[in-house]
Amino acid sequence: MYIYWIYIKPALVKKVITKVKKMEQKFGNCKIIKFKPCEQVPEQLENFAEEFFEVVELNYTDDGNEQLVGYMRADADVSAMEADAAAMNVELPEYTVELLRGRDWLKENVIKFAPVEAGDFYVYGIHETAPDTHGKIGIKVYAATAFGSEHQTTKCCLLGISEIKAAGCRAQKVLDVGTGSGILSLAAAKLWPQAAIVAVDIDDESVNVTAQNAIDNAVAAQITALYSDGYSAPKVRENAPYDIILANILARPLIAMAPEMASHLKIGGYAVISGFIEDQAEWVIGEHEKHGLALQKIYEDGQWRAALLKRVK
Which residue, 206 or 212, is less far from ligand SAH as judged by CB?
206
CB of 44 to ligand SAH, least distance (A): 19
Non-local (6+) Cβ contacts of 251 within 8 A are 64, 275, 276, 277, 280, 283, 284
> Quick one: which of 128, 229, 279, 282 contacts ligand SAH (CB under 6 A)?
229
Residue 309 gets the label, from left (phi > 0), alpha (psi -120 to 50) or beta, of beta
> Quick one: which of 68, 139, 143, 177 contacts ligand SAH (CB under 6 A)?
177
Which residue, 85 or 254, is less far from ligand SAH as judged by CB?
254
DSSP state letters, 155-217: HHHHHHHHHHHHTT---SEEEEES-TTTHHHHHHHHH-TT-EEEEEES-HHHHHHHHHHHHHT
230 is a contact residue toward ligand SAH (CB under 6 A):
yes
Which burial class, exposed, middle or buried, applies to 1 when counting CB atoms under 10 A from its CB (0-12, 13-18, 19+)?
A: exposed
Stretch that binds ligand SAH, among 35-43, 150-158, 260-268, 279-287 (CB under 6 A): 150-158
> Quick one: which of 152, 154, 213, 217 contacts ligand SAH (CB under 6 A)?
154
Binding residues among 157-176 for ligand SAH as defined by CB under 6 A: 157
Encoded one letter per residue, x for contact with ligand SAH by CB under 6 A and - for no contact, window 188-227 reads ------------xxxx--x---------------------
Distance CA 32, CA 249 (A): 26
CB of 53 to ligand SAH, least distance (A): 19
Which residue, 30 or 57, is less far from ligand SAH as judged by CB?
57
Which residue, 151 or 190, is less far from ligand SAH as judged by CB?
151
Non-local (6+) Cβ contacts of 132 within 8 A are none
The DSSP H or E segment spanning 226 is strand 223-227
Binding site for ligand SAH (CB under 6 A): 9, 151, 154, 157, 177-180, 183-184, 200-203, 206, 229-230, 248-249, 253
